[in-house]
């Protein structure tokens, strides 16, 4: 199932619309342009299992590039456009990309990584020229729109930061079928949420994230219409629902918080009655926030718990949640196990590490077998975990009680403290540091650095800003702590292990 299956049936139907703008890509255009790019890449030597990377903002061209990969048996990596050039280059190199497509809106970062990504053989830029890249439009114009004779299905390989701070590629096996066959996501979520050719799906989140990318692709595979926002805005999201008569959407809890904070006059101004399903995931949703959203939009909220690694999925609808506030649902893909430190299953209600049992391990961390081993149950090679902690009730509903070890979830985005701590360690005025997530009414959590100054250095607001500026030069800006606190000494065990829980308790 792919857009080409629908181009003949309704060629002029919008496959993707930019909310609030004039950009519309029809199924005819999506089919033709993705076929042209697939042929262009094939004629330049890319074959099944090779890698295509994309650096873009929320642009409809994303789907042309994505479907070119999916109909060529290629791995596809969408790179977080908020990363620094060094971080972008690391991902492009680590995934082994032979081709890189970039948006001219990100020309500065795209140009800076050319010298640092020597293995890339094909570089294309759209929306304008970029130094070191050929024209995307010229490449498509020179290629035939005739689909390749063989169209093996490709697969995304997205990146999720590890506890070391370095992003790790999550590499599933390539499918052994053609692009015209349904994916696991389509088979699971389409019947659950009623996705079909009549669906109008609003995606307000960055398209490089796993859920927005995969769900948008699922809607296009089924012949529906995707509406993407270039950037989330609470009122504009409501306007998009009304304007496009959106039937389905997906959110993170921070977006709910921002919409709920709108004045009542603004909230009541827009007609959201077309919404049949409002999905949310990516971060725990405060009970009060979800309750308020159900009261506002009705029982159309559906939550799932999953991971980029696709180890398993739990699902819950509004009615089920109202009976069990805080639950993330029952298993729909994989069997949930709650295990103790010894790896044994725990009894109902006991808190432990969440594992999903599948027929086989569904992924591997690219270039990191040790991390893959850490995610695998010590005695069951088909059980895997992302390190989350929770428990099951007596009906099999899952409740989360903790995050992956010390991971911060801010606005639905995963941030790992180690990378920030490693950067702080380079500053001469820092003796020791810890980075934690502290409660934030809007973002869920915000990043806070706790620093022990070097001997002879005086703690001050000026030093805090100096450290924040130092970090901005080394890591993505969204990872930079909102605040820096100073302490005389950080809590460590006699062996030197940092006891972060003690720090977190001070703020909670």
Q: Residue 451's domain is classified under what CATH number?
A: 3.30.300.30
Q: What is the pLDDT of residues 452-473, one digit of tens each?
A: 998 899 999 999 999 999 999 9
Same-domain status, 443 and 493: yes
Sign of CA dihedral 494, 499, 505, 507: positive
Say how far apart CA 12 and CA 357 lie, in whole Å: 43
Q: Look at residue 163 in the predicted model and tell me its pLDDT.
A: 35
Q: What is the pLDDT of residues 173-210, one digit of tens each?
A: 999 999 999 998 999 999 999 999 999 999 999 999 99
Q: What is the pLDDT of residues 247-306, one digit of tens each?
A: 999 998 889 988 998 999 999 999 999 999 999 998 778 788 899 999 999 999 999 999
Same-domain status, 454 and 348: no
Say how far apart CA 372 and CA 225 lie, in whole Å: 37
Whether residue 495 has pLDDT greater than 70: no
As a whole number of Å, the end-to-end CA separation of the chain is 48
Does residue 343 belong to any structural domain of this protein? yes
Q: What is the pLDDT of residues 54-88, one digit of tens each?
A: 999 999 999 999 999 999 999 999 999 988 999 99
Using a CB cutoff of 8 Å and minimum separation of 24, what contacts does 159-163 make?
A: 159/77, 159/79, 159/80, 159/91, 159/95, 160/307, 160/308, 160/309, 160/414, 161/414, 161/415, 161/416, 161/419, 162/365, 162/368, 162/371, 162/416, 163/404, 163/405, 163/406, 163/416, 163/418
Does residue 499 belong to any structural domain of this protein? yes
Same-domain status, 441 and 501: yes
Whether residue 497 has pLDDT greater than 60: no
Say how far apart CA 325 and CA 397 lie, in whole Å: 11
Question: In the structure encoding, which two tokens stand for residue 35, read together?
Answer: 């076929």
Asked whether 350 and 391 are in contact (CB, 8 A), the reply is yes
Q: Look at residue 494 in the predicted model and tell me its pLDDT.
A: 45
pLDDT, average across residues 320-335: 96
Choice among 34-43, 369-378, 437-446 with the minimum mean pLDDT: 437-446
Q: Look at residue 405 in the predicted model and tell me its pLDDT.
A: 64
Say how far apart CA 112 and CA 38 lie, in whole Å: 26
Tracing tokens 């100096």 back to the chain, one arrives at 466
Q: Quick one: how far is CA 484 from the chain centroid?
A: 27
**Pure H helices in 286-441:** 287-297, 318-323, 369-374, 417-424
Q: What is the pLDDT of residues 9-30, one digit of tens each?
A: 999 999 999 998 789 999 999 9
Sign of CA dihedral 432, 483, 236, 299: positive
Asked whether 185 and 427 are in contact (CB, 8 A), the reply is no
In this structure, the number of other CB atoms found within 10 A of the CB of residue 267 comes to 16
Does residue 318 belong to any structural domain of this protein? no
Mean pLDDT, the chain, rounded, equals 92
Q: What is the pLDDT of residues 259-272, one digit of tens each?
A: 998 999 999 999 99
Range of the domain at 450: 408-507
Integer angstrom CA distances of residue 194 from 102, 181, 249, 356, 479: 34, 19, 12, 25, 36
Same-domain status, 161 and 75: yes
Phi, psi of 495 (to 5 degrees): -85, 0
Q: Name the percent of the chain lying above pLDDT 90.
A: 76
Q: What is the pLDDT of residues 215-236, one digit of tens each?
A: 999 999 999 999 999 999 999 9
Where residue 162 falls among pLDDT bands split at 50, 70, 90? very low
Whether residue 140 has pLDDT greater than 60: yes
Same-domain status, 396 and 490: no
Q: Residue 126's domain is classified under what CATH number?
A: 3.40.50.980
Q: Look at residue 161 in the predicted model and tell me its pLDDT.
A: 54
Same-domain status, 361 and 471: no
Q: What is the pLDDT of residues 344-395, one digit of tens each?
A: 999 999 988 999 999 999 999 999 899 899 999 999 999 999 888 889 999 9
For 345, which DSSP code?
A: B
Same-domain status, 47 and 93: yes
Return all residues near 164 (Cβ < 8 A) that are at least 6 apart.
Answer: 418, 419
Task: Map residue 97 onto helix, strand or coil.
Answer: coil
Same-domain status, 473 and 426: yes
Same-domain status, 463 and 477: yes
Same-domain status, 183 and 88: yes
Whether residue 443 has pLDDT greater than 70: yes
Does residue 166 belong to any structural domain of this protein? yes
Return all residues near 226 (Cβ < 8 A) that are at least 6 apart.
Answer: 15, 16, 17, 63, 201, 203, 216, 219, 220
């Amino acid at each position: 199932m792919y857009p080409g299956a629908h181009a003949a049936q309704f060629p002029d139907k919008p496959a993707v619309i930019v909310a609030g703008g004039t950009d519309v890509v029809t199924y005819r255009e999506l089919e033709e342009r993705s076929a042209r790019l697939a042929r262009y890449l094939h004629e330049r030597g890319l074959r099944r299992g090779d890698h295509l990377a994309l650096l873009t903002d929320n642009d409809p061209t994303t789907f042309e590039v994505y479907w070119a990969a999916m109909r060529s048996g290629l791995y596809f990596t969408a790179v977080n456009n908020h990363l620094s050039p060094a971080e972008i280059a690391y991902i492009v190199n680590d995934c082994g990309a032979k081709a890189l497509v970039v948006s001219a809106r990100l020309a500065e970062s795209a140009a800076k990584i050319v010298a640092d990504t020597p293995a890339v053989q094909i570089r294309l830029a759209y929306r304008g020229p970029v130094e070191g890249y050929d024209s995307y439009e010229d490449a498509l114009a020179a290629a035939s729109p005739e689909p390749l004779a063989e169209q093996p299905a490709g697969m995304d390989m997205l990146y999720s930061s590890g506890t070391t701070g370095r992003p790790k590629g999550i590499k599933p096996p390539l499918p052994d079928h053609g692009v015209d066959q349904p994916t696991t996501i389509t088979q699971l979520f389409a019947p659950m949420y009623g996705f079909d050719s009549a669906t109008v799906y609003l995606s307000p989140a960055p398209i490089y994230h796993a859920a927005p990318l995969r769900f948008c692709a699922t809607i296009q595979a089924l012949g529906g219409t995707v509406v993407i926002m270039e950037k989330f805005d609470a009122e504009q999201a409501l306007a998009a629902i009304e304007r496009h008569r959106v039937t389905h959407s997906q959110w993170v809890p921070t977006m709910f918080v921002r919409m709920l904070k709108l004045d009542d006059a603004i909230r009541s101004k827009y007609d959201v009655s077309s919404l049949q399903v409002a999905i949310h995931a990516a971060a725990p949703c405060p009970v009060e926030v979800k309750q308020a959203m159900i009261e506002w939009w009705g029982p159309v909220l559906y939550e799932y718990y999953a991971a980029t690694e696709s180890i398993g999925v739990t699902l819950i609808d509004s009615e089920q949640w109202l009976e069990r506030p805080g639950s993330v649902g029952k298993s729909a893909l994989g069997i949930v196990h709650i295990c103790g430190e010894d790896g044994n299953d725990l009894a109902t209600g006991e808190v432990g590490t969440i594992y999903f049992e599948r027929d086989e391990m569904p992924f591997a961390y690219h270039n990191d077998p040790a991390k893959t081993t850490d995610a695998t149950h010590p005695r069951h090679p088909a059980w895997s975990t992302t390190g989350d902690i929770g428990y099951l009730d007596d009906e099999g509903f899952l409740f989360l009680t903790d995050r992956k070890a010390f991971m911060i979830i801010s606005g639905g985005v995963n941030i790992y403290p180690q990378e920030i701590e490693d950067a702080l360690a380079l500053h001469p005025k820092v003796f020791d540091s810890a980075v934690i997530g502290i409660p934030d009414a809007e973002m869920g959590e915000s990043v806070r650095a706790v620093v022990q100054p070097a001997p002879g250095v005086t703690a001050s607001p000026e030093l805090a800003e100096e450290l924040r500026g130092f970090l901005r030069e080394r890591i993505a800006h969204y990872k930079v702590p909102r605040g820096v606190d100073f302490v005389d000494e950080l809590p460590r065990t006699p062996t030197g292990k940092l006891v972060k829980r003690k720090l977190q308790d001070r703020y909670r």
